[in-house]
Each structure stands twice: as C-alpha cells, then as structure tokens.
Amino acid sequence: MSKTQWNLTTLFADESALKLALKESENRALSFQTLFKGNLKNLNEEEFLEAMSVYEDLLEVLGQIMTYAFLLFAKDSDNGSFYAKYQNKTTKIYESLLFFELEFNKLSKSKQANFIQYSGKYRFYLESLKEQKSHQLSFKEERIMLKKANSSSRAFSRLFDEHFSQMKFIFKRKKISLEEVLAHLHDPSKDVRKNAANSLTKSLKNSEHLLAYIFNMIKEDHKVDCELRGYKNPETFRHLDNKISQKSVDSLVVATEARFDLVSKYYHFKKEHLKLDKLYDYDRYAPLEESEESFSYEESCKIVLDSFNEFSPLFGSIAKKAMDEGWIDVYPKDRKRGGAFSHPATPSTHPYVLLNHTDKRRDLFTLAHELGHAIHQYLAKDMGYLSSDTPLTTAETASVFAEMLVFDSMIKKVDKKDKTAMLASKIEDIFATLYRQINFTTFERRVHGHEGELSIEQFSKIWMEESSKMFDSSVTLTDDYKIWWSYIPHFIHSPFYCYAYSYGQLLVLALYGLYKDGKCKDFVELYIEFLRLGGSKSPKELVALFGFDIEDVKFWEIGLAQVERLVDSIRE
C-alpha cells in the first residue's frame, strides 16, 4: 500500500535535530569565513577545490533545513511563523558565506581560468557564476539585499500562499478549496462548470484588492532588483538562471504565437463536437465523454508504474520508492498549499512531491508529471548540491516526457470513442503547457513593462487582451474570466518562470518523436544520461546529446509540427 503523506524524518528526526544542524552550520560558516575571506587569491588549485567542497556542503545543510521548514509550511499554512523563523536564522548564516562568490568574481582572469580548469564537477557552476559578475553588487550591498529579502518579495509570496491555503469557495452550499473548485471546471456537466466558474470568480473578487496589491509589490520589488543589478529588462535574470539567450526565448514566443491558429482550430472542433452555440471559457476543459472516468490514487500509481517500467525499469524503481517511502503528500487538506510540485530537497536525501489528488484523469497525469521531476532530481544527485539543480528549461523536460509515457501507454488500450476523448484531453494539456504559458509570459511582459502600479482594471484589461490573442473567436471569454490572472502562483513566486514550460513541451515533443520512430537505438541510455547530468552542463549542450540545436528556430517548428498532427488527427 502506497504511503500518502510525507515522511520528513529523512530530513530531520524532529526540531531538536533541526536546531542542532542549524547551530553546527553557524559555527562551520564562521570558521569558513575566517579561513577563506580575503584569501581566495592566495589559494592554489587544490586548496580552492577543497574550499568549494566545504562551501557546497554548508549550502546543502542550509538547503536541507529550509526544505524541512518549507514542507511543513506547504502542508499547513499555520506553520508560517515556523518557516519565517528558519528563513531568518539561515539568512544570518548565509551572510557568513556571502563573500565567497563575490571574491571569486574579483579574481584575475588567469586565476579564475586555472580554478575553473581544475574544478571538475564545479566547472559549469563557476562559468555561470562568471556570467553574473556584471550584476553583482558590493559585499555591503549584497548583505543588505540578503537581509531584506525575507521582508520584501518573499513576504508577499508567503502572504499569497497563506491566503489561498485558507481561502474557501462556496459550491453547492459547501466550502471547498481552490483545487477542488478548479477540478469542477473539468466536469461533464455545463451547469457544474458554470457554477464552479462563478464560485471561483466570486471569491477572487472578494480578495481582488489584496491580490492586486501583492502582484504590484512583487513587480515593484523586482523592478528595484533589476535597476540595482543592471539587468537589461525584467526577464534578463531568468534567462541567465536558465542559461539561455534572450534571442532563444524571443524566437520561442514568436514561433508559438505564429501557431495560435491551432488553438482556434481545435476549440472550433470542440464546440461543434459538444453541439454548443458558444464555447465559453469555463467550457474549455469539458471532457468529450459523457462521464469522465475517475482514477483513485492507487489506480493512478499502478498506471504510472506500468508506463515507467515499460520505458525503463530504473524509472519504475525510483517511482516505486517515492510511493512506498513517504516522498508524496497526496490529498487536499485545509490550509495545505494548492497545486503540485516536486521539491528536490538535497542530494543526500530525496525529492518530496506535493499533490492535491481529486481522482480526476488530470490528477493521474499530474502524478506522472511530478514523478518525472522527482526521477530527474534523484538521478542528478551524484552531481552534488551546486550542480544537480537544473535550469527551468530542461527541468520541465522530464516531467512532460513522463506524461507522454503515460498517455502513450493508456491510449493503446481504449476504443475509438474513448481514444478521441483522451486525445482531446492530451491536446488540451499540451495547450496548457505550451500556448497558455506563452500567454502568461506575454501578460507578464506587459505587466512588468507598465510604469508604476496597476489597478485591478488594468491587470484585467491586459489579461483579456493577451488571452484573446490565443483563442481568437473560438472561445467566448466572459466578464468573470477577467479576474483569473489573480490566482496564478508563478506570477508571484517565480516571475517569468512560465515560458520554461513551453520550452520543455516543445523539447519533449521533439525528443519523444525521436524515441518513437526508433531511429535512435540508444535513446533510453542517452535520456537517462541527460537526466543524470542535472545542471552540470548548459541546456544547449544537453540537448545537443540528441542532435538538436535550441538556438535554431527550426527546432521549435519540430515540436509545433507534432502539435499540428495531433490537432489534425482529432478532426479526421
């Protein structure tokens, strides 16, 4: 029987163990500072490598402490003060380590080159650090930025989470969570979908002033960061983190928007299939079958395991460990964070997956998605704390690929009617991961490009204009839809995160096509190596393992052609 709640003892047995780790880290960080601050220029290559190893180990322990605190908060927002306490305590320790990266970037070019050449697994990390040099501030300024972080954007991000974890939506005279009301938008009944949309909108409107204020504060805080660090535009920092160029992202946006016609083509088909005069925004996820099949968590686990094992027994074994050893917190609860994620934790432990499983088909694919992340994170642990974490652009590859494995396995076993319904569901998932995320990105570009704070009406106007570009005349957007920008967590937690989903989706469509056509005989081994390398190489180098070039506009067209084939196949 699979476990359905996290076992956090892998991180710490209890708070006493947590406090002990914190105290030891504080002492070790002070010793590290005493030994190396102002002294990097005097180290030889071997001594620098030893310093890097100690530095990485310190960061990993701090990461483990904050993982524990964050997961308790994600599970129950009443733990917000506990989370904040350890944010503040670890921030003080980070102050002792702040000098290290700054001093590395002040070394002479020849000294840096020698250290990088000798650095082994730290090579790409140090090369990436060099690229950040022009955006780093002085030690005193960086210290202020670090100390202020918990009371600026992080504070508003926490407020957003706490608010939504306690927020209730009235549906059929019952109070339900955000995840539950969103699940009803996938119901076969138009009345249920419409009532769910009304419930969602009503509660969002009750909080619209707070939610707009939070977004404005995130925007203004980010603007200050960009000005201080000299970023060319509000999204530059994200591209540096993702190790990709602005040109690459721009070409992705242009190529995707050029095929918005596929969105319109599909939804016109859906409107005709459902025999509706108009397809409203709350009808977008209406299943084509009369009653959607439900999938319990145990059933979902079996389907995912079978699909993963068929691809690679290694995938199946890691997923089974996750299910059996308390890596996953499964069901919605009061005060629990909404959505889903896989937290990488630290290489010495294992990832932790959060779900809000409501027995829908989409929850089955969410399980596959997050376990794809977990497998990637687990395989990359040998790269170490500094090199295991991947840029968002390649991080989303494993999750979307895992969904494709499950979809491909399931669709072989259904009749023609169910096949059409499943194909529709998959197309809509791809649209959500590809087109909708580009829509989110262009919305964010306009929001962050606006001078000063935005009113609720201005947020909503931009939201509707960008959404209309995607749907054209195929979907009728209601007045209720205007406020739906306000519940998207990525706008608050991770500005300009969303295009990475699109990046990953098109990359997966290209890779999956390569896998299915059988021309790459060692694809599984190559793919596992791709995941094992984690963040130790650039996305360009990793994708080149398969013979693709992410700087070539034609690369995006490979994935978009796959989307077109799916849309055409359902209309046949």
Amino acid (one-letter) located at 91? T
Q: Is 547 left (phi over 0), alpha (psi -120 to 50) or beta?
A: left
Residue 433 covered by a domain? no
Q: Tokens 């990390």, residue?
A: 125
Beta strands in 300-358 (DSSP E): 328-329, 341-343, 352-354
pLDDT of res. 25:
98
Residue 415 covered by a domain? no
Domain that holds residue 75: 14-151
Distance (Å, rounded) from C-alpha 520 to C-alpha 275? 43
Identify whether the C-beta of residue 304 lies closer than 8 Å to the C-beta of residue 319: yes
Identify whether the C-beta of residue 459 lies closer than 8 Å to the C-beta of residue 215: yes
Residue 81 covered by a domain? yes
CB environment 21-33: b (16+ within 10 A), e (fewer): bbeebbebbeebb
Beta bridge partners of 225: none
Q: Tokens 């003060």, residue?
A: 81
Identify whether the C-beta of residue 375 lies closer than 8 Å to the C-beta of residue 321: no
What is each CA distance from 375 to 223, 340, 352, 387, in whole angstroms?
36, 15, 11, 16
Distance (Å, rounded) from C-alpha 249 to C-alpha 247? 5
pLDDT of res. 290:
67
pLDDT of res. 289:
76
Q: For residue 108, what are the contacts with CB-CB under 8 A and spacing of at least 6?
A: 41
Residue 103 covered by a domain? yes
pLDDT of res. 156:
96
Q: To which H or E segment does residue 170 belong?
A: strand 169-171
DSSP secondary structure, 500-541, as one string: HHHHHHHHHHHHHHHHHH---TTHHHHHHHHHHTTTSS-HHH
pLDDT of res. 142:
92
What is each CA distance from 384 to 65, 69, 81, 387, 519, in whole angstroms?
17, 21, 30, 6, 33
Residue among 359, 441, 443, 463 at smallest CA distance from 393: 441
pLDDT of res. 414:
83
What is the mean pLDDT for each group of 10 consecutive residues in the chain (572 residues)?
Answer: 91 96 98 97 96 98 98 95 95 96 95 93 93 92 90 93 92 91 92 96 97 98 96 94 87 92 96 94 89 88 97 98 97 92 96 96 94 98 94 87 94 84 90 95 98 98 97 95 97 94 89 86 95 92 87 80 90 74
Give the total number of structural domains in the chain: 1
Residue 64 covered by a domain? yes
pLDDT of res. 67:
98
Residue among 488, 529, 540 at smallest CA distance from 242: 540
Distance (Å, rounded) from C-alpha 322 to C-alpha 210? 37
List the CATH number of the domain containing 19: 1.20.140.70
Residue 60 covered by a domain? yes
pLDDT of res. 461:
98
* Nearest-10 Cα torsion for 359, 363, 368, 369: -170
Amino acid (one-letter) located at 192? V
Distance (Å, rounded) from C-alpha 551 to C-alpha 240? 15
Residue 49 covered by a domain? yes
Residue 342 covered by a domain? no
